[in-house]
C-alpha cells in the first residue's frame, strides 16, 4: 500500500517517534533510523530476528532485485532486533549485499507497530513455508535464535518492509507482516521504490 505521513497508516506522530529511534551499524555506531533514508530512497526490511530462516529467505528475495534498486539509486537495508554481533553474523552468513543494522531495543518495531506474539509466529502457513525453505536449502541459525537478545525479548516479533525517502518523513510504502513469512509481492516493492 502507498501511504504518506498523516494518512492514518503512518501518522505524523510515528514519523516523529522514528526520528528519535536509533539503530546500530555493524561497527556499533548509533544512527537515527530516519537518517538511513533522509538523503536517499531506501527499501528497508525488518527481520523477525537474525537467526530466522524466513528472514534469510527475505534477504535473498530482496537482494535478487538489488540490480533494479541500484539502477534507480535505491538503497537496500535490513534491520533486525538483536545485537551488533548477531547482525554481523547474519551479514557474514548470508552475504547480504545491502546494509545491515541492529535494533537491540526493538524501538523501530514498536514505532511502526509491527505485531508480535506466539499466534503470529506458529501458523499453518508459516510452518509450510519453513518446510519449503528447508527443502530449498535454507537453514535456521539456532545459535543466533537462542541468544539472550532474541530469547529475552522474544523471538515472536514480526517485521515488515517500508520504502522511505528521500526525506525523513517520506514513507511511501509499508507492509506489516501479519505472520511469520508474510512476504509482500516483490513487484509491489519495486513499483514503490523504482
Q: Which three cell numbers stand for residue 60?
A: 535473498
Does residue 4 belong to any structural domain of this protein?
A: no
Give the N- to C-terminal CA distance of the chain in Å, as an integer: 15
List the grid coordinates of 160.
515488515
Show Cβ contacts of residue 139 under 8 Å, excluding neighbours closer than 6 positions.
Answer: 53, 56
Q: Which domain holds residue 153?
A: 12-193
Q: What is the pLDDT of residue 125?
A: 76
- For 119, residues 6+ apart whose C-beta sits below 8 A from its C-beta are none
pLDDT at 117: 66
pLDDT value for 3: 39
| Residue 187 covered by a domain | yes
DSSP letter for each residue of 86-155: HHHHHHHHHT-SSEEEE-TT-HHHHHTT--BSHHHHS-HHHHHHHHHHHHTT----HHHHTSHHHHHH-T
Helix 186-193 to helix 53-63 angle, to the nearest 10 degrees?
Answer: 50
- Tell me how crowded residue 60 is: count the other CB atoms within 10 A of its CB: 16
Task: Report the C-alpha gap between 147 and 152 in whole angstroms.
Answer: 8
Look at residue 94 and tell me if it is in a domain.
Answer: yes
Provide the pLDDT for residue 148: 63
Which residues, including other chains, have CB under 8 Å from residue 152's CB and lie 6 or more apart? Answer: none
> What total number of domains does the chain contain?
1
* CATH code for position 158: 3.40.30.10
Q: Is residue 60 part of a domain?
A: yes
Give CA–CA dist 168/162, Å, rounded.
13
Q: Is 138 inside a domain boundary?
A: yes
3 in any annotated domain: no
Give the model's pLDDT for residue 49.
82
**Over its length of 194 residues, how does the chain's per-residue pLDDT go in tens digits?**
333 333 345 677 888 888 899 999 999 999 999 999 999 999 999 998 888 888 888 999 999 999 999 999 999 999 999 899 999 999 999 899 999 999 999 899 999 988 776 666 666 676 667 667 666 777 677 676 666 665 455 667 788 999 999 999 899 999 998 877 788 999 999 999 99
In a domain, residue 6? The reply is no
Amino acid at each position: 500500500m502507498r501511504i504518506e505521513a498523516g494518512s492514518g497508516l503512518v501518522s505524523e506522530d510515528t514519523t516523529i517517534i522514528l526520528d528519535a529511534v536509533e539503530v546500530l551499524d555493524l561497527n556499533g555506531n548509533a544512527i537515527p533510523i530516519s537518517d538511513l533514508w533522509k538523503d536517499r530512497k531506501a527499501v528497508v526490511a525488518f527481520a523477525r530476528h537474525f537467526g530466522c530462516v524466513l528472514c534469510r529467505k527475505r534477504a535473498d528475495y530482496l537482494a535478487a532485485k538489488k540490480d533494479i534498486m541500484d539502477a534507480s539509486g535505491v538503497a537496500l537495508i535490513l534491520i533486525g532486533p538483536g545485537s551488533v554481533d548477531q547482525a554481523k553474523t547474519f551479514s557474514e552468513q548470508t552475504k547480504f549485499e545491502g546494509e545491515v543494522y541492529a535494533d537491540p531495543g526493538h524501538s523501530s518495531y514498536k514505532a511502526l507497530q509491527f505485531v508480535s506474539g506466539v499466534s503470529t509466529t506458529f501458523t499453518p502457513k508459516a510452518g509450510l513455508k519453513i518446510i519449503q525453505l528447508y527443502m530449498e536449502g535454507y537453514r535456521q541459525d539456532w545459535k543466533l535464535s537462542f541468544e539472550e537478545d532474541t530469547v529475552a525479548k522474544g523471538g515472536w516479533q514480526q517485521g515488515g518492509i517500508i520504502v522511505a525517502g528521500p526525506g525523513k518523513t517520506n514513507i511511501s510504502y509499508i507492509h506489516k507482516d501479519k505472520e511469520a513469512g508474510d512476504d509482500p509481492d516483490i513487484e509491489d516493492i519495486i513499483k514503490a521504490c523504482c
